[in-house]
Amino acid sequence: MEKLTIAQIIAKIQNEELFEAVSSEYSFTIKIDAYVPYACGAVHDGHQFRRELWENCMHTEYDRWFEEDPATKEMVQSHPIVIAGMDSRFEYDLNRAPESAIYEDAWGKQLWHNPLPEAMKQKSLDKHTNFYKVVHALIEKLEEKFGVCVVYDMHSYNWKRWDREVPTFNFGTANVDNERFGETIEDWRSMLSEIKLPNGIASTSKINDTFQGNGYFLKFITQHFSNTLVLATEVKKIYCDEINQIMFPEVVAALEHALKVLVPMHADKFYAEYK
């Protein structure tokens, strides 16, 4: 892995180079092992939190971990193109638009003892901007090369805060072209429902049950690129104990193994249908 500036990362994408890099400010990673008509994203995987923010933050390290999406990068790390956030959404949320990316409060609790100085906000927003410069360059290259593209936008969610049965997998389609991509959306739902998980964990999958796909990562790509489908895929946190902060590596490994097979199978079918 290399440390590269945003300009260097974009230049490599434009030149169709293969590389693995961390951004020079250590805010995200990107890997391109091959140029294929699909990519995986894990924008909430990150847990880093700038030290200058620590004392001012009212939320604990556990509070932050609870709302992040740990291991979502690991679930898709075997795929040819993966881009993932390294910073906590509590510093800036890559799945929100710039004007709302820095929280004032989070899940009903005030975030800061004192309002953040504008200089601190700008430092975070610059990283948000840089991430999306690279996302734009990446999808632009994939559409240019293949005509169409599908992005697997991986997230997780805390199921114990729900007072009803919720699906193992949910993906939101409120902001994608359901008329055009309805068949491939249903294919993805069906594939996810067949995943075999350890410890007697059931695989259920639904569309727009817990979340509707309103994230900025999906909206940004969809608004800028008419031939790219983003599948905002939420995994119920059956792969950890969200209350006691314990990871279940055997479940993470099972998810990674299943997605290693299913993602390229689904992407190949998507490409054959829409190219």
> Which residue is it, tokens 């699909």?
38
State what percent of residues in the chain have pLDDT above 90: 95
More reliable by pLDDT, 107 or 186: 186
The answer to whether 233 touches 191, Cβ cutoff 8 Å, is: no
CA angle 81, 249, 88 (to 5 degrees): 60
pLDDT for res 109: 79
State the pTM of this model.
0.96
**Structural domain containing residue 126:** 2-274
pLDDT for res 203: 94
The answer on pLDDT for 120 being more than 90 is yes
* Nearest residue to 205 via CA among 195, 192, 215, 216: 192
Query: What does the pLDDT look like over 12-60, one tens digit per residue?
Result: 999 999 999 999 999 999 999 999 999 999 999 999 999 999 999 999 9
The answer to whether 185 touches 145, Cβ cutoff 8 Å, is: no
Q: How many CA atoms lie within 13 A of 65 on its CB side?
A: 12
Domains identified in the chain, total number: 1
The answer on pLDDT for 163 being more than 90 is no
> Which residue is it, tokens 């805060």?
161
Domain of 136: which CATH number?
A: 3.40.630.40
The answer to whether 200 touches 114, Cβ cutoff 8 Å, is: no
Query: What does the pLDDT look like over 218-258, one tens digit per residue?
Result: 999 999 999 999 999 999 999 999 999 999 999 999 999 99
The answer on pLDDT for 107 being more than 90 is no
Which is it for the CA torsion 208, 213, 214, 219, positive or negative?
negative
